[in-house]
Chains A and B, each alone.
Chain A
């Protein structure tokens, strides 16, 4: 196939008239068609997670209510309730938390790199980037739509998880500022998910091959999470929950915007 190589934004347009608005409605349909496998997968995982969290959450709250109402605490019946809550229920709670902590990077690994890298690998970029919309707005729209879906899903799930996990916080003497609890609540979880997605998209545009970009996304996310946990969070100028949440979400959002801008820049720079 032969295509003409043209500069990314056609020069004669730039000075004379403002860029036309992004056609969100049409792009919604294109994004759905290109990424429906992912979007259906996310929806299925979301429904399964909500069902699981609701059923197990109700059961665990029931167990915890029975335990706190049990008197005297040293009686064999109460000890048995406490043992059950401390072993079986806590195993479920801890397992769900481990899955929730792994979810952003696993989701982003499959959502981020394909946005650009698959378009390059399958050569569909030759068609997509030469449409009237222009490749920069094409990329911005896809990143915004997919990023919004993932962020909203993550926000809903983390609120439900906070409700699910509430009985364990007093029982296990956990502080909400502990790293592994802090990032599952408030707005931090959604912000980490968005950052992971933008990281994946950026690395996909940089490496240009989906599977290596997926592996690098995993490594980069783990490194970023490790650095944030060990070096950044202990040095926040704030020590209370909500200011810390907003601060963390703030720098993650800035990082996400930077990575998205980097992706668009890489797309613009590359000759179609």
Chain B
């Protein structure tokens, strides 16, 4: 097939026309309906499972709590059953929940642009009146919004399901890395960022499967960097010398030794002594929402920047 190579935007077209959202919704749906239907079906099926499982878990937990209030010494069997069966299931689901944004991003992101390039449909799509830049923007925005909304709703159900385990597992708080990422708005923000990473890598590498593998790697790298280097710099930490914060009987169930963290927070940033007084700088568990907004905020900025870079690559490439 022979095509003419033309500059992406004719010079006389100075004022960009608005994106025709309504028509693009239809085109986006037609091109990506298999992915959108599968994503909704998978999240819906798991949500129903979580709901059923959650009713069971909440029931078991309230029975356990009632027993602990009435006859604290006769609850061994109930406690063991909750610790073994229910917690094992919840822990497995928590691990899968932490992997989910990477997988959602890998299956949705690279398909947006790389599939269009691989199958040659870009020759048709990019030469329509809408122009390739607005075409790319419309698809990225529409799919991004759908993914963010679906995953946010999904994470709310998981949050409800997981609530009893936060009370029952001493070492877990809402600030624990694996829990924090599955709650509030962080889960949706990570999914959106993974989608943007996938879309950008798809346009950069131009091959869908290679871009999927790269998306998984980049996502895990970003998670690791966030955990090891970024979170501790969120401006939410406080300084305290109040030793009663962590002598309140909080113990690590890991080895039975006293936890070294005030408030059982996983984020103790520094400890030092002045005379006989010990001081701590740490992030209290009550700073959950400010941390959520900071994390979701920079992830959103990252997603927008990657989206812009994807559009720039689309403009740059000769059709």
Contacts and interface: CB of A to CB of B under 8 A. Distances in A.
Interface of A: 37, 41, 79, 82-83, 86-87, 90, 98, 102, 106, 110, 114, 118, 171-172, 210-212, 214-215, 218-219, 222
Given A87-B254, A212-B38, A214-B209, 8 more contacts: A37-B210, A82-B255, A82-B257, A98-B95, A172-B254, A211-B208, A211-B212, A215-B38
Nearest to A114: B209
B109 to A, nearest CB: 12
B34 interface: yes
Nearest to B261: A87
19 contacts: A41-B213, A79-B257, A82-B257, A83-B260, A87-B252, A90-B254, A110-B212, A114-B209, A118-B209, A172-B254, A210-B209, A211-B107, A211-B208, A211-B209, A211-B212, A214-B107, A215-B38, A218-B103, A219-B42
A96 to B, nearest CB: 12
Contacts of B103: 218
Contacts, number: 40
Interface in B91-116: 95-96, 99, 103, 107, 111
A86 B107 contact: no
B216 interface: yes
A86 B111 contact: no
A184 to B, nearest CB: 14
Nearest to B95: A98
Contacts of B216: 106
A212 B34 contact: yes
A78 to B, nearest CB: 10
Contacts of B34: 212
Interface string B206-226: 001110110010000000000
Nearest to A85: B255
Contacts of A86: 252, 254-255, 257
Contacts of B99: 102
Interface in B241-272: 252, 254-255, 257, 260
Contact of A110 (B38, B95, B209, B257): B209
Nearest to A212: B34
A208 to B, nearest CB: 14
A83 B260 CA distance: 9
Given A98-B95, A106-B216, A211 B257 contact: no
Residue of B96, B99, B255, B257 ringed by the most chain A CB atoms within 10 A: B255
A215 B35 CA distance: 10
